Chain A
Amino acid sequence: MSIPLNWFLVVAAGLFCIGLYGVLSRRNAIGILMGIELMLNAVNINLIAFWRYLDPARLTGQVFAVFVFAVAAAEVAVGLALVIAIYRNRDTVVVEEIDLLKE
């Protein structure tokens, strides 16, 4: 246990910011999905780090993380299916060209 908790949190925060940047700046819908994955993973690192340092006796942190990546997997499955459906209909996955929400 030589690595302090802060380090993990810094890594997680960095990962979160990278993911956030990706979500906001990528034009490709798949890139946005990947950004979301990074953000979820950052959350997972936080969960696991806090669990390990603050409450290692119980399994809550790990179980929570397992839930997060199960949900993330489902989200990616749905997200990719949507991307494929959009691509088939509109021949593009560039989000700037997909502005149906305006109407």
Chain B
Amino acid sequence: MKEFFFNITWIIPVFPFLAFLIIILFTQGNRKLSHSLSIGSMVLSWLVGWGVVFSAVATPHLGEHPIHKSIPWFETGTATFEIGYWIDPLMAIALFMVPFVCLMIFIYSVGYMGYGTDEVDPNYSRFFAYIALFATGMLGLVISENLLTLFMSWEIMGLCSYLLIGFWFQKNYDDPDKITPRQAGLKAFLVTKIGDLFFVLGILYLYSQAGTLSYADTLFNHEFLAHLAETPALPIFGGWSAASAIAVLIFGGAVGKSAQFPLHVWLPDAMEGPTPVSALIHAATMVSAGVFLVARIFPLLNIVVELDHHNPTMALIAFIGAFTAIFSSIVALAQNDIKGVLAFSTISQLGYMIAALGIGAYVAATFHLITHAFFKALLFMGSGSVIIGCHHEQDMMEMGGLRKKMPRTFWTFLAGGLALSGFPIITAGFWSKDEILAHAWHEFLHYGTASWPFFVWLLLTIAAFLTAFYTARQISLTFLGKPRSQHSEHAHETPNSMTIPLILLAFFAITLGWVGIPEEIVGQGNNFFHNFVGHEYAATPLSIPVMLLSSGLALGGLGLGWMVYGRKPLVAGQLDPLQKGMENIRLGWLYKAMQKRFYFDEIYQAVFIKGSIKLADLFYNIDYNWVINPIVNMVGTITRGISNIFNKFDEKVIDALVNITGLSSVKLSDLGGITDLKVVDGIVNGIADVTGWIGENVLRPIQTGKLQNYLLIMLISMLAIIGIYLVY
């Protein structure tokens, strides 16, 4: 049975790809068939995927001996590129999460896109084609055997992300400053491309060193990695080793895809897409592909730590992650859009994972990756359910009192929210986040205070508190109190196709953490997750103070949030207490900055967009006013001066000669004039008449100005020339 699943692993991404092709080519007109194909293909992928996962779990020592198989794909010159699959613990846990979350979201989309109602989306079938193609990309990325196919899948996802963010491309807003789905899609595409450029450079660099891109010969080849860590990099990287240079370049790709500072700006705007897309792509799967990539290249990072101690690569990764975590959780405090809060919360949690990888907590990062995917997908789908229930209202200030009206959504959202804030013991988020904090604490004890792990730990700890606070704010504003608008007054529970996936995901949001409870609590050798994923890395020692602290922070944040927003719920028109409080202590400007996302969009607009326009202006001026045109003009002036001199010469000397000749010619021509009038004029007029006739009747009709006529003439002439060439 195990062999069977390991042999057919390649088929996992094929199912959704076939579904995509069939829908886009044949079944666009039939909504029911289209969504059935999409969901059916995902069910198959999910069944095979979990078959592979459980076979992998049952295989001892999979980490040391990953199973991989590949076939030649294409060759250029002497190089052969392969395509294949790779089964190791990291792949297995990602494969546990991806098809299941995809399946839940596919089912949920049936309800969200309004199947069977009057509000059904006009491009319903195409939506299912796109998400099936997306699933192809994500599953392909997870099972990839080398960095080339990984990159290919990565770009398929980038394309789908663009198509799906801009899915409602007809939408325009009255407020010209509000970003439209069309613009948001472009923004996401362009910003992530900046990261992808670094990723490609990293892949090329690795290829130039290794001559291959398969994991087995590069990332999992210890001699090669050691060699790489001792090779100096190109001079542009200072004194770094090639290993660290490649790691940083590939990390650049993850920064774009996982929306880390400074390329985080695209993700909040990506919420313009339909909510299932936000859940699927911009919370659970695609954005975690960046983290997955960094986890993939972890052997490379590890060798840098081992052999190149003073290299700042790891500190850089950890700091970018930690800064992103704290920065975006601060922004999330002041967002009023229900999806906006979740968008920043996603950025912040991805920051956690990146920071965890930066401090070497491989197991904790992958653990958080998987628990986060479940509870964040749940939260997004819950928010989508709220949005549909409230007739497309997204402003939390207009909600309130939905607890009674949408009970299923409320309870599942509560489960997701508690997992996100790390509610102690029972939720998945607690165990994974605690492991990251414990590892940071451990590193900080190891390096001493005022070392970089200390700051990483401090930032992550504060972010944990803020996370709990904004989660409590969001739940209170949305579900507690009294309805604050007509929309929430008339809210209704959403159909089963939307609530059942919520319930299934809520189950995992609570229980999934239990597979990774530290050994100190459940007994030696019983930390299943660590045994499976991280056999080669020492387990993070349990630290009671950290656990108490993170429990305290989670409860404190939730409690404080409840005190502020839940105890005395807002009434319609009331100001956000946080805003009021901050204005009272003269921090109104800070609140405004938080609401405006610390002005990053404006800064990028001013620096990069306006900068490019300024640069174009500069070149325009160089061309027209300063350099090129003046040179041309000067050449013209000089030429004219010279010709004036010749002109004078002409007038004085040549003219005199000409005049003499002219006078004598006049006499002679008087004689010839008679013949001229009769004979020559006749010929000249005849030629003119013939030319005029040809122009009028042959050439003018050809010059229609119509492009295709010209092309046709070109084609006929070409054929004629070829024909003549062939004949002679």
Contacts and interface: CB of A to CB of B under 8 A. Distances in A.
B708 A99 contact: no
A47 to B, nearest CB: 13
A1 to B, nearest CB: 13
A91 interface: no
B715 A99 contact: no
B712 A24 contact: yes
Contacts of B715: 20, 24
Contacts of B712: 24
Contacts of A23: 708, 711
23 contacts: A23-B708, A23-B711, A24-B708, A24-B712, A24-B715, A32-B707, A59-B76, A62-B76, A95-B706, A95-B707, A96-B706, A96-B708, A98-B707, A99-B705, A100-B705, A101-B703, A101-B705, A101-B706, A101-B707, A101-B710, A102-B704, A102-B705, A103-B705
Contacts of B707: 32, 95, 98, 101
Interface in A44-103: 58-59, 62, 95-96, 98-103
B77 interface: yes
Nearest to B74: A62
B76 to A, nearest CB: 6
B130 to A, nearest CB: 21
Interface string B680-709: 000000000000000000000001111110
Nearest 6 CB-CB pairings of A with B: A102-B705, A99-B705, A101-B705, A95-B707, A59-B77, A99-B706
Nearest to B712: A24
Contacts of A58: 77
Contacts of A100: 705
A25 B715 CA distance: 13
Given A62-B76, A102-B703, 12 more contacts: A20-B715, A23-B711, A24-B708, A24-B711, A25-B708, A59-B76, A95-B707, A96-B706, A96-B708, A98-B707, A99-B706, A101-B705
A42 to B, nearest CB: 15
A101 B705 CA distance: 4
Nearest to A63: B76
A69 B712 CA distance: 25
B653 to A, nearest CB: 45
A42 B218 CA distance: 37
Contacts of A103: 705
Contacts of A32: 707-708
A98 to B, nearest CB: 7
Contacts of B706: 95-96, 99, 101
B77 A99 contact: no
Contacts of A95: 706-708
Contacts of A99: 704-706
B308 to A, nearest CB: 36
Nearest to A98: B707
Nearest to B710: A101
Nearest to A25: B708
Nearest to B76: A62
Contacts of B711: 23-24
A35 B399 CA distance: 52
A96 B705 CA distance: 9
A25 B710 CA distance: 13
Interface in B49-103: 76-77
Contacts of B76: 59, 62
A25 to B, nearest CB: 8
Contacts of B704: 99, 102
B507 to A, nearest CB: 48
Contacts of B708: 23-25, 32, 95-96
Nearest to A100: B705
Interface in B340-391: none
A59 B75 CA distance: 10
Interface string B309-352: 00000000000000000000000000000000000000000000
Interface string B702-728: 011111101110010000000000000
Contacts of B710: 101
A21 to B, nearest CB: 11
A59 to B, nearest CB: 5
Contacts of B77: 58-59
Nearest to A97: B706
A32 B708 CA distance: 9
A79 B569 CA distance: 57
Contacts of A24: 708, 711-712, 715
A99 B702 CA distance: 12
A59 B711 CA distance: 33
Contacts of B703: 101-102
Interface in A1-42: 20, 23-25, 32
B675 to A, nearest CB: 42
Contacts of A96: 706, 708
A13 to B, nearest CB: 14
Nearest to B700: A102
A58 B712 CA distance: 37
Contacts of A20: 715
A51 to B, nearest CB: 10
A20 B718 CA distance: 13
Nearest to A62: B76
Nearest to B703: A102
A84 to B, nearest CB: 14
Contacts of A98: 707
A102 B706 CA distance: 8
A23 B707 CA distance: 10
A100 B710 CA distance: 13
A34 B660 CA distance: 68
Contacts of A62: 76
A24 to B, nearest CB: 6
Contacts of A102: 703-705
A47 B707 CA distance: 28
A93 to B, nearest CB: 12
A95 B706 CA distance: 7
A100 B706 CA distance: 8
Contacts of A101: 703, 705-707, 710
B616 to A, nearest CB: 15
Nearest to A66: B76
A58 B77 CA distance: 6
A101 B707 CA distance: 8
A58 B710 CA distance: 39
A92 to B, nearest CB: 13
B699 to A, nearest CB: 12
- Greatest chain B CB density within 10 A among A62, A101, A103 is at A101
Nearest to B77: A59
Most buried by A among B77, B707, B715: B707
A59 B76 CA distance: 7
A96 B708 CA distance: 8
